[in-house]
Amino acid sequence: MLRSGPTGARNAPALEQINAEVFTLTYGSIVRQLISDYEDIEEVNKQLEQMGYNMGIRLVDEFLAKAKISRCSSFRDTAEVVAKQALPMFLNVSANVTNWSPDQTECSLVLTDNPLADFVELPDEYRELRYCNVLAGVVRGALEMVNMEVECRWVSDMLRGDDCYELRLKLKEHRDEKFPYKDDD
């Protein structure tokens, strides 16, 4: 139903913005819809992540074009670009990259503000809901498009009483681009 990302991105006017509350309410609607569709909260978490993944693989093209950056070479650089450029561009928030593992394959993106969750309070029966899981999926999808297979999961969540939102990234594979691109025509 949606045209392919790159074509759409080229046609789009530069960085249009819309009101964040409309977005927050729209996102809230989809979470509610998924909860009513799937009784199992774990399944809702999965669906939100998958939805984000589908968005991430589209958004990366717009991001690379608008930010005028080429593909990131290291996981370390990439995490910084996500935190300091991609999140500000798309969600109007920024994150800090912290808690690097000694082998530089794991880090955390820490947010203290999150428009996805504005005005949201989780009732007790939804304690296991990863309300912002779409963002974990977006990051996974976007990084996959730059050849980094990562696992993303929320380890802190202000909706569950933590003092920040902490998304843990774990690099599982960084594939080299061994082959030159080939057009499909």
Q: Between 19 and 70, name the residue whose CB sits nearer to a second copy.
A: 19
- Residue 62 or 166 with smaller CB distance to a second copy: 62
Q: How far is the CB of 144 from a second copy (least distance, A)?
A: 16
Residue 90, both tokens: 């798309």
Beta carbon nearer to a second copy, 102 or 123: 123
Q: Which two tokens stand for residue 63?
A: 């991001």
CA distance 107 to 155: 11
Of 37 and 77, which CB lies nearer to a second copy in the complex structure?
37
CA 118/CA 96 separation, integer angstroms: 20
For the bound state, the minimum distance from the C-beta of residue 11 to a second copy, rounded and expressed in Å, comes to 8
Among the listed residues 86, 43, 87, 80, the one whose alpha carbon sits nearest the alpha carbon of residue 66: 86
Strand partners, 156: 166
Shortest Cβ 37–a second copy spacing (Å) = 6
Q: What is the CA radius of gyration of the chain?
A: 17
Binding residues for a second copy, per CB under 8 A? 1-3, 8-9, 11-12, 15-23, 25-34, 37, 47, 51, 54-55, 58-59, 62, 89-92, 115, 118-123, 126, 134
Give me the least distance between CB of 124 and a second copy, in Å please: 12
The nearer residue to a second copy, 33 or 112, going by C-beta atoms, is: 33
Q: Check the CA dihedral 51-144-78-61 and report its sign.
A: negative
109 forms bridges with which residues in the sheet? 97, 167
Provide, rounded to whole angstroms, the least separation between the CB of residue 82 and a second copy.
14
